[in-house]
Amino acid sequence: MEEATLAGGCFWCTEGVFQRLKGVVEVVSGYSGGSIENPTYEQVCSGSTGHAEAIQIKFDPKIIPFEKIIEIFFHLHDPTTLNRQGNDVGTQYRSAIFYHNDEQKRTAEEVRLRIEQEKVYQNPIITEIVPFEAFYKAEANHQNFYKNNPDYRYCRVIIDPKIEKLLREYKNEVNES
Protein backbone atom coordinates (compact mmCIF):
# COMPACT_ATOMS: atom_id res chain seq x y z
CA MET A 1 0.00 0.00 0.00
CA GLU A 2 1.01 3.59 -0.62
CA GLU A 3 -0.18 6.87 0.86
CA ALA A 4 -1.19 10.12 -0.77
CA THR A 5 -2.01 13.33 1.07
CA LEU A 6 -4.09 15.90 -0.80
CA ALA A 7 -5.86 19.18 -0.06
CA GLY A 8 -8.51 20.35 -2.47
CA GLY A 9 -10.93 22.46 -0.49
CA CYS A 10 -13.33 21.01 2.04
CA PHE A 11 -12.19 17.57 3.14
CA TRP A 12 -15.78 16.31 3.12
CA CYS A 13 -15.74 16.75 -0.67
CA THR A 14 -12.42 15.13 -1.40
CA GLU A 15 -13.08 12.29 1.03
CA GLY A 16 -16.48 11.54 -0.54
CA VAL A 17 -14.93 11.37 -4.02
CA PHE A 18 -11.82 9.34 -3.28
CA GLN A 19 -13.65 6.77 -1.14
CA ARG A 20 -15.37 5.61 -4.32
CA LEU A 21 -12.22 4.65 -6.23
CA LYS A 22 -11.16 1.07 -6.87
CA GLY A 23 -7.89 0.36 -5.09
CA VAL A 24 -8.43 2.99 -2.40
CA VAL A 25 -8.62 1.12 0.89
CA GLU A 26 -8.92 4.05 3.31
CA VAL A 27 -9.53 7.78 3.23
CA VAL A 28 -9.06 9.85 6.39
CA SER A 29 -9.99 13.52 6.74
CA GLY A 30 -7.56 15.73 8.59
CA TYR A 31 -5.13 18.61 8.50
CA SER A 32 -1.73 19.03 6.87
CA GLY A 33 0.73 21.72 5.87
CA GLY A 34 0.70 23.81 9.02
CA SER A 35 2.81 24.46 12.08
CA ILE A 36 0.59 23.40 14.99
CA GLU A 37 0.50 19.82 16.24
CA ASN A 38 -2.92 18.18 16.62
CA PRO A 39 -5.00 21.20 15.63
CA THR A 40 -8.74 21.31 16.11
CA TYR A 41 -11.22 22.11 13.36
CA GLU A 42 -11.88 25.48 14.98
CA GLN A 43 -8.16 26.30 15.03
CA VAL A 44 -7.74 25.34 11.37
CA CYS A 45 -10.83 27.38 10.38
CA SER A 46 -9.34 30.43 12.10
CA GLY A 47 -6.59 30.42 9.47
CA SER A 48 -3.91 30.77 12.14
CA THR A 49 -2.41 27.24 11.97
CA GLY A 50 -1.24 27.17 8.36
CA HIS A 51 -2.98 23.80 7.92
CA ALA A 52 -5.18 22.90 4.99
CA GLU A 53 -8.17 20.60 5.24
CA ALA A 54 -6.69 17.48 3.67
CA ILE A 55 -7.28 13.80 3.12
CA GLN A 56 -4.85 10.97 3.50
CA ILE A 57 -5.45 8.07 1.15
CA LYS A 58 -4.15 4.53 1.47
CA PHE A 59 -4.24 2.86 -1.93
CA ASP A 60 -3.01 -0.13 -3.87
CA PRO A 61 -0.85 1.21 -6.74
CA LYS A 62 -1.38 -2.03 -8.67
CA ILE A 63 -5.09 -1.16 -8.91
CA ILE A 64 -4.94 2.64 -9.06
CA PRO A 65 -1.59 4.31 -9.67
CA PHE A 66 -0.64 7.56 -7.99
CA GLU A 67 -0.74 9.25 -11.41
CA LYS A 68 -4.46 8.45 -11.78
CA ILE A 69 -5.16 9.71 -8.24
CA ILE A 70 -3.48 13.02 -9.11
CA GLU A 71 -5.30 13.28 -12.44
CA ILE A 72 -8.65 12.79 -10.70
CA PHE A 73 -7.62 15.25 -7.99
CA PHE A 74 -6.88 17.96 -10.57
CA HIS A 75 -10.16 17.36 -12.41
CA LEU A 76 -12.50 17.26 -9.41
CA HIS A 77 -11.68 20.60 -7.79
CA ASP A 78 -10.56 23.98 -9.10
CA PRO A 79 -6.76 24.02 -8.82
CA THR A 80 -6.58 27.57 -10.19
CA THR A 81 -8.07 29.48 -7.26
CA LEU A 82 -5.91 30.67 -4.39
CA ASN A 83 -7.19 29.69 -0.94
CA ARG A 84 -10.69 29.04 -2.20
CA GLN A 85 -13.05 26.36 -3.45
CA GLY A 86 -16.46 27.81 -4.30
CA ASN A 87 -17.84 29.60 -1.26
CA ASP A 88 -15.21 28.05 1.03
CA VAL A 89 -12.55 30.74 1.46
CA GLY A 90 -9.34 30.75 3.49
CA THR A 91 -5.89 29.19 3.50
CA GLN A 92 -7.39 25.99 4.91
CA TYR A 93 -9.14 25.47 1.54
CA ARG A 94 -6.02 25.78 -0.61
CA SER A 95 -5.06 23.24 -3.24
CA ALA A 96 -2.01 21.18 -2.30
CA ILE A 97 -0.30 17.88 -2.96
CA PHE A 98 1.87 16.81 -0.03
CA TYR A 99 4.22 14.34 -1.69
CA HIS A 100 5.68 11.45 0.32
CA ASN A 101 8.71 10.75 -1.90
CA ASP A 102 10.56 12.01 -4.98
CA GLU A 103 8.55 9.76 -7.30
CA GLN A 104 5.26 11.29 -6.09
CA LYS A 105 6.73 14.78 -6.56
CA ARG A 106 7.82 13.99 -10.11
CA THR A 107 4.48 12.42 -10.97
CA ALA A 108 2.47 15.32 -9.51
CA GLU A 109 4.56 17.85 -11.46
CA GLU A 110 4.19 15.85 -14.69
CA VAL A 111 0.41 15.57 -14.32
CA ARG A 112 0.11 19.27 -13.50
CA LEU A 113 2.17 20.17 -16.57
CA ARG A 114 0.13 17.87 -18.82
CA ILE A 115 -3.16 19.37 -17.62
CA GLU A 116 -1.80 22.89 -18.13
CA GLN A 117 -0.65 21.99 -21.66
CA GLU A 118 -4.07 20.49 -22.42
CA LYS A 119 -5.61 23.85 -21.38
CA VAL A 120 -8.15 22.11 -19.15
CA TYR A 121 -8.43 25.35 -17.16
CA GLN A 122 -8.45 28.91 -18.45
CA ASN A 123 -6.26 30.11 -15.58
CA PRO A 124 -2.91 28.68 -14.43
CA ILE A 125 -2.85 25.88 -11.87
CA ILE A 126 -1.64 27.19 -8.51
CA THR A 127 -1.70 23.89 -6.59
CA GLU A 128 1.20 23.65 -4.14
CA ILE A 129 3.36 20.55 -4.59
CA VAL A 130 5.24 20.39 -1.30
CA PRO A 131 6.91 17.75 0.88
CA PHE A 132 4.70 15.87 3.31
CA GLU A 133 5.58 16.65 6.91
CA ALA A 134 2.66 15.62 9.10
CA PHE A 135 -1.00 14.71 8.97
CA TYR A 136 -3.40 15.11 11.87
CA LYS A 137 -6.66 13.20 11.81
CA ALA A 138 -9.75 15.39 12.08
CA GLU A 139 -12.39 14.92 14.72
CA ALA A 140 -14.71 11.89 14.47
CA ASN A 141 -17.68 13.92 13.19
CA HIS A 142 -15.65 14.83 10.08
CA GLN A 143 -14.82 11.22 9.15
CA ASN A 144 -17.01 9.61 6.46
CA PHE A 145 -19.10 12.77 6.45
CA TYR A 146 -20.70 12.26 3.05
CA LYS A 147 -21.45 8.59 3.73
CA ASN A 148 -23.02 9.46 7.08
CA ASN A 149 -24.89 12.59 5.93
CA PRO A 150 -25.92 12.16 2.28
CA ASP A 151 -29.02 14.32 2.74
CA TYR A 152 -27.17 17.21 4.38
CA ARG A 153 -27.68 20.27 2.13
CA TYR A 154 -23.93 20.86 1.62
CA CYS A 155 -23.53 17.25 0.48
CA ARG A 156 -26.40 17.50 -2.02
CA VAL A 157 -25.35 20.88 -3.42
CA ILE A 158 -21.53 20.64 -3.38
CA ILE A 159 -20.46 16.99 -3.13
CA ASP A 160 -23.12 15.28 -5.27
CA PRO A 161 -22.03 17.15 -8.45
CA LYS A 162 -18.40 16.13 -7.85
CA ILE A 163 -19.43 12.49 -7.49
CA GLU A 164 -21.60 12.74 -10.60
CA LYS A 165 -18.59 14.10 -12.50
CA LEU A 166 -16.42 11.28 -11.13
CA LEU A 167 -18.97 8.69 -12.25
CA ARG A 168 -19.26 10.30 -15.68
CA GLU A 169 -15.54 10.86 -16.38
CA TYR A 170 -13.87 8.06 -14.41
CA LYS A 171 -16.46 5.28 -14.30
CA ASN A 172 -13.80 2.58 -14.91
CA GLU A 173 -12.00 3.64 -11.71
CA VAL A 174 -15.12 3.68 -9.52
CA ASN A 175 -16.27 0.83 -7.28
CA GLU A 176 -19.62 -0.64 -8.24
CA SER A 177 -20.93 -0.70 -4.67
Query: Which residues are catalytically annotated?
Result: 10
User: Could you give the angle at the alpha carbon of 14 between the alpha carbons of 82 and 156, nearest 5°?
Assistant: 100
Is 99 in a helix, a strand, or coil?
A: strand
Cβ-based burial of 174 (10 A; exposed 0-12, middle 13-18, buried ≥19): middle
In DSSP terms, 76 is beta-bridged to none
The CA distance from 159 to 142, in Å, is: 14
SS3 content of the chain, % helix, strand, coil (to 5): 40, 25, 35
